[in-house]
Structure 1
Amino acid sequence: MSGITLKQTSEDPNCASIMLCEGQHDYEFIGRLISKLGFSSYNLVDKIPKDKDKVISRVINYGQLSYIPVIIEGGRSKLDGNVRLLISRLRSINGSFLRVIILRDADSNDPDEAFNVLKSSIDNFINDPNRFPLHKPSITCNKGSNVGQFASYNCMLKYENGNVVLKFIIVVPSLESFLSKYSYINNKDNLNKAIDGALNDLTSVSMLNSVKRLFDPCFS
């Protein structure tokens, strides 16, 4: 597992407090997309992987940090498991309103089904009395929206002393499949060219506003 951060100004307290994604390609893609979309207060900065627990504790204790930690989980299963663990850790928030972005592959052509499976696992986790013997959070999610091969779902978690919005961005069927349309063949140089091609299309006049709303780290 590794982590990298996107630096942000402290002037915008409504931005994501933390971001999770499956792998390095996801990080490269979303980091460059955010930059290209003109969110100029975000700059890439390396983050030591062992600092993950410390970062999560700081998010819980202080809410908005001076940067957005991007945690690279090393695969879909680890990502899904750590989403549940993060939900457990966030029960300690006190008077905070936090935002979390999760970038995940659908691994199918049906993002609703992929999200519903993930949502069901979260529901089971929250309803497990061994996990939440007291004051389990409630969770409500919207129906989602689509922009090209991306689907977005917002869920509100209400804890005893604070709220968290989880924003799931699901790629259909996967980021690698999406980038293969731009001649991606699994090497670093080719990845950069494929991301450049994809970003040119995603930031075209016809898609720009929709893509900005989807990937804006400062979402409501």
Structure 2
Amino acid sequence: MIILCEGKHDYEFIKELISKINVKCDVKDQGPRDKDFIIGHVVDGKRLSYVPIIIEGGKDRLDGNVRLLISKLRSVHGSSTWVLILRDSDSNDADSAFDKLRRDIVSLINNPSKFLLYKPSMDCGQGIRVGSFVYYDCDLKYMDGVVHFRFIFVVPSLEVFLRNYEYVNDDSRLHYAIDKALSDPGIVMQ
């Protein structure tokens, strides 16, 4: 599994979530420069000893690097790979944010200079809303493998969501708010 997110708060949220689900799972924050190393392992069919979370440094870089990742994962052979993307929607309309990203991905896939020999197909399900989160599952079928993408949009942002749990833009309160949010029985993460 490869995880991409916008920034440090997203990383901390994902790290806490994974630790609540699987205490034995090791998580590492990675910079965008580590992506080629991680993709190389995935393409070679090797498993990493940890879950890499790539902190992209903003929404525009995240969206651009999702497209780059789609292009680079064309070499996946005979395996299934999972990619999770956590991103703010910046509005109450996650569907519009996802549709824009999906159109950019479809445009990339349909670009004959990017996919000369074989154009992957992409199938996406409907958005499913769980509290302040809306997720979309997409399968990209390449010639020799499948990459499963889960795009999770936080409506309107992770920071706004965490304000319901006493986060006040103070990093010293971030972990407290994340822990409180993940302990809330009203929050269901699938």
* TM-score, scaled to structure 1: 0.81
| SS of equivalent residue, structure 1 residue 62 | coil
Asked whether 1:164 is paired with 2:147, we answer yes
* 1:173-209 deviation per Cα after TM superposition (whole angstroms, max 9, x unaligned): 01011112223222221212221221221xx1x54xx
| SS of equivalent residue, structure 2 residue 146 | strand
2:35 to 32, 52, 58: 52
Aligned-partner residue type, residue 55 of structure 1: I
Structure 1's 86 and 49: CA in aligned 2 closer, same or farther, altered over 3 A? Answer: closer
2:57 counterpart residue number = 74
Task: Return the alpha-carbon distance in structure 1 between the equivalents of residues 66 and 31 of structure 2.
Answer: 20
1:140 counterpart residue number = 123
2:69 to 86, 94, 97: 86
Q: What is the CA-CA distance between 1:59 and the residue it aligns to? A: 1.2
* 1:29-87 deviation per Cα after TM superposition (whole angstroms, max 9, x unaligned): 11102212x32231334557643311211111115332221100000000000000000
Q: Could you tell me whether the CA contact under 8 Å between 2:26 and 2:51 is conserved in 1?
A: no
Q: What is the CA-CA distance between 1:172 and the residue it aligns to? A: 0.3
Task: Return the alpha-carbon distance in structure 1 between the equivalents of residues 30 and 127 of structure 2.
Answer: 31
Q: What is the CA-CA distance between 1:94 and the residue it aligns to? A: 1.2
Task: Return the alpha-carbon distance in structure 1 between the equivalents of residues 114 and 4 of structure 2.
Answer: 22
Structure 1's 39 and 172: CA in aligned 2 closer, same or farther, altered over 3 A? Answer: same
1:64 counterpart residue number = 47
Task: Return the alpha-carbon distance in structure 2 between the equivalents of residues 77 and 63 of structure 1.
Answer: 29
Q: Could you tell me whether the CA contact under 8 Å between 1:63 and 1:96 is conserved in 2?
A: no
Q: What is the CA-CA distance between 1:93 and the residue it aligns to? A: 1.0
2:174 counterpart residue number = 191
Q: What is the CA-CA distance between 1:21 and the residue it aligns to? A: 0.4
% of aligned pairs identical? Answer: 53
2:136 counterpart residue number = 153
Aligned-partner residue type, residue 143 of structure 1: Q
Q: Could you tell me whether the CA contact under 8 Å between 2:2 and 2:83 is conserved in 1?
A: yes
Size of the aligned set, in residue pairs, is 190
1:99 counterpart residue number = 82
2:9 counterpart residue number = 25
Task: Return the alpha-carbon distance in structure 1 between the equivalents of residues 113 and 88 of structure 2.
Answer: 29
Task: Return the alpha-carbon distance in structure 2 between the equivalents of residues 47 and 130 of structure 1.
Answer: 30
Stretches of structure 2 that go unaligned for 5 or more consecutive residues are: none
Task: Return the alpha-carbon distance in structure 1 between the equivalents of residues 180 and 34 of structure 2.
Answer: 34
Structure 1's 47 and 121: CA in aligned 2 closer, same or farther, altered over 3 A? Answer: closer
* Aligned-pair Cα RMSD in Å: 1.7
Aligned-partner residue type, residue 79 of structure 1: L
Task: Return the alpha-carbon distance in structure 1 between the equivalents of residues 49 and 12 of structure 2.
Answer: 21
Structure 1's 166 and 48: CA in aligned 2 closer, same or farther, altered over 3 A? Answer: closer
